[in-house]
Chains A and B, each alone.
Chain A
Amino acid sequence: MIVQSFKMAWKSIAANKIRAFLTMLGIIIGVMSLVVLVSLVTSATSSVTSQIESMGSDMLTVSVRDDKGLPLRLADLSDIAQDESISMIAPTTQTMGSVKSGSETTEVSVEGTNASYFQIQGDELASGRLLKSADLENTSYVAVLSNEAAVEIYGTADATGQTMVMNGSKFLVVGVLAEDDSLMASIGNMYSIYIPYTVAERLADSSSGISSFYAAASDPEYTDRAEAAIEAALLSRFKNDEDSFYILNQSVLAETMSSVTNTFALLLGGIAAISLLVGGIGIMNIMLVSVTERTREIGIRKAIGANKRVILLQFLVEALMICLIGCALGIALSGGILLIVNIFTSDTLTFTFSGSVILVAVLFSTFIGVVFGLYPARKAANMHPIDALRYE
């Protein structure tokens, strides 16, 4: 009987294709906006969180606000790095510098750090070498350039071996980093130059100590342990003053980020769901018209032996079918839209179907088909055979 209901429903939909399509339109648009909006948000979210994770979800950023007259030294960092939950640690100081090349001056961001920095950040070399611990020990005037900085200053990324004059000091360019096409790099757009921490300290001409550093956990699972270890070390160092330093846990950042975007996705999804609901009301409207139009047919069917349940099923299945066909068309269309969106967005962001939203769309369409199909179907099922047969 169920199979027969589907056949009957299909026949009456096929008999009136234009109307069926117009009825579906609400569902099509609703499903399309639901799938597209939620897919866009979740794709963007997963792209951003994976960027954060590629920066290392195992990364901790520590900034020291007040050293209580006990400045943090490189040796302190090596002590902290002894903890087995911490694999690497890199001090950073950031200053501005101007690089002279010929008659032109380029403003750059100068990062004083050590060899671990690049590993923690996941930066790769294009040519030359990275900073070495010997560079820090010997306070060598060497520099590693970001790709953008090399291109800006020398007009080519192949700048290894060049001599660079920055703030009046001569540096040897020992390496150039590979191009970083990540989203984060394009946000913090600066020409970056990396020099040994000791050199930066000397140039800054103050021995205020390390004001910030990065640490990487030996395993992403140990991030929280590493955070605790650093916290303990710094607390004992800074006389138990919790406010004298601040630890930013990258994995917490990723979590916050995804919870914010999840809320956003839910909000957009909710708006789209309302449009689906409106589509459902449209279906109910047309189904009511259809039931009235087919009153005589219902009478005939009852006269030859259709009972209430069969009539109910026929119209319910018809409403459901309209919803699900609309849903399928909506999903297909949103796939097309995502494809087009992908053509116009950069390679770093790819929008893909969110599997769960498709499931939600199908379930919700089914729900709407049943809920809004039920009333017209019951109306059909409860018709009196004679009244239905008499209907003109």
Chain B
Amino acid sequence: MIELNDISKIYRIGDEEIRALDSVSMRVKEGEFVSITGSSGSGKSTMMHIIGCLDTADEGVYLLDGQSIEHYSENELAMIRNQKIGFIFQSFNLIARLTLEENVGLPLVYRGVSASLRRERVGAAMEQVGLANRMKHTPNSISGGQQQRAAIARALVTEPAMILADEPTGNLDSKTGESIMKLFRNLNAAGKTIVLITHDDHIAQQTGRTIRLMDGRIESMGRTGVAAVNGPIAADTGGGGTDGVNNDSAVF
């Protein structure tokens, strides 16, 4: 489903060149629950943005469902985001002046879904995250955990094949975070592909597989986040010849 081949993202500030991602290759199969960890600045968000078609790589090829997205226009990328991907952010990113119902229904508006069908689907998504009785509330009249649930409902409402979450529990206390994780596990059990970014090893352990990033390079790819600190690892990438770790990456 997701296939990154030698992807690099380079930022230039003045003369300095920052490789936020440096020849990263990896795969995520349909139905997987993958976590991405790594220290701050290691390129986790950058990677998620590329996977989510919010940004494009400077080098390498990204295949989404077997299709290279390289030559898509900005508008086509917007359509892919709308149809295939559900985003969840650390800071929830709900629009403050809209009600939860309107926030959750927004992706469907951009998809051109009729108001009546929209109401139905928003109702179902809100039900799924346990917020069916908060439809008319605005984001700042509910708790952080509830806001993140609403954001998840917004990601689910379009019934995307894949959910990308950038530190979804980062702004929540551990108990609320736990309940959000439970929601993710249920979604994964129901067949959704989930890629989750986290700092928290405890959270990472709850996922099927952990990819650890370090200075824009993949440091390890293994089950349940228990990764070797040094040395090459046979990466479990679900098959394919190009995957693996560039072990000669520790140049920084």
Contacts and interface: CB of A to CB of B under 8 A. Distances in A.
B110 A304 contact: yes
B154 A304 contact: yes
Contacts of B206: none
A15 B97 contact: yes
A137 interface: no
B81 A11 contact: no
Nearest to A388: B54
Given A4-B109, A386-B49, A386-B55, A305 B79 contact: yes
A300 B93 contact: yes
Residue of A1, A12, A300 with most chain B CB atoms under a 10 A cut-off:
A300
A385 B79 contact: no
A308 interface: yes
B83 A385 contact: no
A297 B49 CA distance: 17
B41 to A, nearest CB: 14
A337 interface: no
A386 B98 CA distance: 22
A309 interface: yes
Contacts of A303: 52, 54, 81, 87, 93
A55 interface: no
Nearest to A310: B110
Given A1-B112, A11-B97, A309-B75, A304 B107 contact: yes
A300 B110 CA distance: 12
Interface string A299-330: 11111111111100000000000000000000
B55 A296 contact: no
A384 B55 CA distance: 8
B111 interface: yes
A13 to B, nearest CB: 11
A304 B112 contact: no
A296 B110 contact: no
Contacts of A304: 81-82, 87, 106-107, 110, 154
B78 interface: yes
Contact of B78 (A11, A15, A305, A389): A305
Chain A interface residue bracket vs B: 20 to 34
A308 B93 contact: no
B74 interface: yes
Contacts of B79: 305, 307
B10 interface: no
Interface in A353-392: 384-386, 389
Contacts of A297: 95
A381 to B, nearest CB: 10
B5 to A, nearest CB: 21
Interface string B27-62: 000000000000000000000010010110000000
A302 to B, nearest CB: 6
B75 A308 contact: yes
A307 B76 CA distance: 8
A309 B54 CA distance: 17
Contacts of B158: 305
B95 A300 contact: yes
A5 B52 CA distance: 25
Contacts of A309: 75
Contacts of B49: 386
10 contacts: A4-B109, A297-B95, A300-B93, A303-B52, A305-B79, A305-B110, A306-B78, A308-B78, A386-B55, A389-B93
Interface of B: 49, 52, 54-55, 74-75, 78-79, 81-83, 87, 89, 93-95, 97-98, 106-107, 109-112, 154, 158
Given A1-B112, A305-B79, A389-B89, 12 more contacts: A11-B97, A15-B97, A296-B93, A297-B95, A302-B78, A304-B82, A304-B87, A305-B78, A305-B82, A308-B74, A308-B78, A389-B54
